[in-house]
Structure 1
Amino acid sequence: MAHELVELTPQQPSLPIEPEQTDLIGEVTAVELPETVREFVAQYEEVFTDRDTFLWKWIHSLFDAFTLSSVDDRDVHDVKEIKTLFTVFITSLDDLIESHDDQETFDEARRVVRDPETVDASRDGVNTEVIEFIDDLWTHIDERLRSSPRYGEFKDIFEYDLRQGFNAMEYTRLVSDNAHIANATGARTYDAHNMVLFPYTDIDLMFSTGFALEDLSDLRDLTWDLQKMARIGNWVTTWERELTEGDYSAGVIVQAIQDDIVAADELDPAGDLEDVAERIKECGVEEAFLDEWCQRHKRVCEREYDIESVDVGAYIGGMETVMEYHLASRGMK
């Protein structure tokens, strides 16, 4: 079934939105998070200081755009809340390894998904308070997922996709600690999973009683492209902050290294990172990624998908909204 969206010409690719003409920041700031989300966010803020409440409001409001149309109407509100809580969970693990360089606590936190009976918050080198928070949060998420009508069908897929998210976090740490291995192929292949679009989609499918399994292969094929588009949006709007934090895995920075715009040896928090950032801006690395986003967008819009039980056009349109939100909130998350 073909779905036609925005027409883009190869000679003049353009973003399908104009973020400077929007008032998305005010809209996001005004979002009221559900009570359960607010409670876990308050607990997050007791053990982490990395993220502002804006991030949780940002993603919560975005789920209206890219939740699959197949989700049962009665469950849309719950799915949105569960995915926001899942975002707090996955971000907490990302903070551990990216911002705190706490491999021991990260390794323990991963166990709560696959081997919860082995979790030991008192293990040497582990932040007990953080593990207790993450364990409580995951237990709540897991209980709600188990109540979904198709949990058993998608559980293994969800857990596999979640492990890819964990792997992306470790790849981020590896590149930041070993900038000489940075390469564009690795960033696009491994780091894209940090967007966890596959787990988000799996959660949707658990609550989609009308979804046809024969559509799953094509849906996941499309999700690969959309996840890479989401990653580009994140890269071009967060790389400057990540550069100052010692995280050199963002695609913009990796591409600048590979193109010899900057040298890996220059990526030192004690060095002149302002000069590094300026050179990256002047050489058009961001513009190249935005062009790539446009070309990917064009391809997914033109391609025919043999999917009947999900509105493909709405799913692709959701990624346009994600990009709009990324550009409008540059430097705020």
Structure 2
Amino acid sequence: MSSRPMLSAPSSGRQYAESIAAVTLPERVLDVVEAYEAAGGERDRFVWKWIYRLLPSFTLSSVPQRHASEVRTRKTIFTVFITFLDDLAECNEDSRAFEQIYRSIVWADESTAEPCRDADAEAVAFARQLWNEFEGMIAEAPRFEEFEDVFRYDLRQSLNAMDYSRILNDNVSMANLNGAQHYDSHNMVMFPYADLDLMYSPSFESADLGVVREQLWDLQKMARIGNWLTTWEREINEGDYTAGIVVYALQNDLITLEELEAAGGDDASVTDRIRAYRIEERFLSEWERLRRHVENRDLEAESVDLGALVNGMETVMNHHMASEGYK
């Protein structure tokens, strides 16, 4: 079996966490984070500092330096929005709020029907306000109109991935690895991130769009594996069983849903059992297979460096591994 990729930055988790804590977020991002927290968002600021630090590693090379800071800020704000929705989708008590926001974005349905709880109403109001503000930001991008339809389409796929997780947690018997790999990978929003880059890429040639997207399919799967490897234990404790590692264990009868639910997040023996089957190593091997594939495939683009994008995803994996237990 393959070993974990070697980390290229701080040698210990604690050192790495300290390096992330030292990251300074732009004032506009901080304003959004404070509003997120006031609306009930529970993610630690480590997450936003982590993604802000990491974003340049997989930003398309076609983004010129004069737009780099602006793109980085907007993509961080977009990440806050996406994460907020993802957390709503995975919490049964908040699923109505997710459905209202989903309907608002996907079907442009600004229904005035009141959610069930005051907390839902607050969450919906925050998400709608943040989305409207974000739309206003990216509308200023040099090539917004050219890539707007592509971005909205890719955003719908990401929202659908969240909806899939919501449905799966309500119907865990439908869990299967193909579904997790096909649907859940869109939760990494690699395509929307790239679309935002392209909006700020004056020299990008549209003829390269198909090639870039071809590469993104596998890179998004790699990002999903990295996230699964470092968050599945926390998600089990939260009653979320959608991570590929957990789905694999369920599908292969290595653990039962009854055992997961009985543990209730308080029994380490469940996660210890899953870990004992060395499922993580299977996913690491798949990540490394995908890396070899994207490194060796014969794809060429004139206006963007695909090799740099592949290298960036290795950096993403390094950061995933270094951040295990912190996000």
Structure 1 residue 26 displacement after superposition? 2.1
Check the 8 A contact 1:60/1:80 in 2, yes or no.
Answer: yes
1:37 lines up with 2:35 in the alignment: no
1:160 lines up with 2:153 in the alignment: yes
Question: TM-score under structure 1 normalisation?
Answer: 0.91
Structure 1 residue 305 displacement after superposition? 1.1
Partner of 1:8: none
Partner of 1:48: 40
Aligned match of 2:246 in 253, 259, 262?
Answer: 253
- Could you tell me which runs of 5 or more consecutive residues in structure 1 were left unpaired when the two chains were aligned: 1-10
Q: Which string of whole-angstrom CA distances, capped at 9 and with x for unpartnered residues, describes residues 260-302 of structure 1?
A: 2112332205557422211111110001111111111111111
Partner of 2:114: 123
Structure 1 residue 49 displacement after superposition? 4.2
Check the 8 A contact 1:16/1:320 in 2, yes or no.
Answer: no
Distance 1:64 1:17 in 2: 18
Partner of 1:151: 144
1:82 lines up with 2:108 in the alignment: no
Question: In the alignment, residue 31 of structure 1 is paired with which amino acid?
Answer: V
Partner of 1:279: 273
1:299 lines up with 2:290 in the alignment: no
Q: Which string of whole-angstrom CA distances, capped at 9 and with x for unpartnered residues, describes residues 118-152 of structure 1?
A: 253x6242622212211221111101111111111
Structure 1 residue 16 displacement after superposition? 5.2
In structure 2, the CA distance between the partners of 1:56 and 1:100, relative to structure 1 (3 Å rule), is: farther
In structure 2, the CA distance between the partners of 1:238 and 1:19, relative to structure 1 (3 Å rule), is: farther
Aligned match of 1:316 in 310, 314, 320?
Answer: 310
Q: Which string of whole-angstrom CA distances, capped at 9 and with x for unpartnered residues, describes residues 45-85 of structure 1?
A: 11224200000000011111111110132111000000000
Matched residue SS, 2:178: helix
Over aligned residues, Cα RMSD in angstroms? Answer: 1.9
1:204 lines up with 2:194 in the alignment: no
Distance 1:143 1:49 in 2: 23
Distance 1:219 1:13 in 2: 29
Distance 2:6 2:212 in 1: 22
Distance 1:209 1:157 in 2: 17
Structure 1 residue 113 displacement after superposition? 3.0
In structure 2, the CA distance between the partners of 1:19 and 1:171, relative to structure 1 (3 Å rule), is: farther
Check the 8 A contact 2:300/2:306 in 1, yes or no.
Answer: no
Distance 1:113 1:61 in 2: 28
Identity of aligned residues (%): 45
In structure 2, the CA distance between the partners of 1:303 and 1:40, relative to structure 1 (3 Å rule), is: same
Partner of 1:231: 224
Aligned match of 1:329 in 301, 305, 323?
Answer: 323
Question: TM-score under structure 2 normalisation?
Answer: 0.93
Partner of 2:282: 288
Distance 1:252 1:95 in 2: 19
Distance 2:35 2:4 in 1: 42
Count of residue pairs the alignment pairs up: 322
In structure 2, the CA distance between the partners of 1:185 and 1:119, relative to structure 1 (3 Å rule), is: same
Question: In the alignment, residue 279 of structure 1 is paired with which amino acid?
Answer: R
1:94 lines up with 2:90 in the alignment: no
Which region of structure 1 is more displaced relative to structure 2, 204-213 or 271-280? 271-280
Question: In the alignment, residue 85 of structure 1 is paired with which amino acid?
Answer: I
Partner of 1:106: 98
Check the 8 A contact 2:2/2:284 in 1, yes or no.
Answer: no
Question: In the alignment, residue 306 of structure 1 is paired with which amino acid?
Answer: E
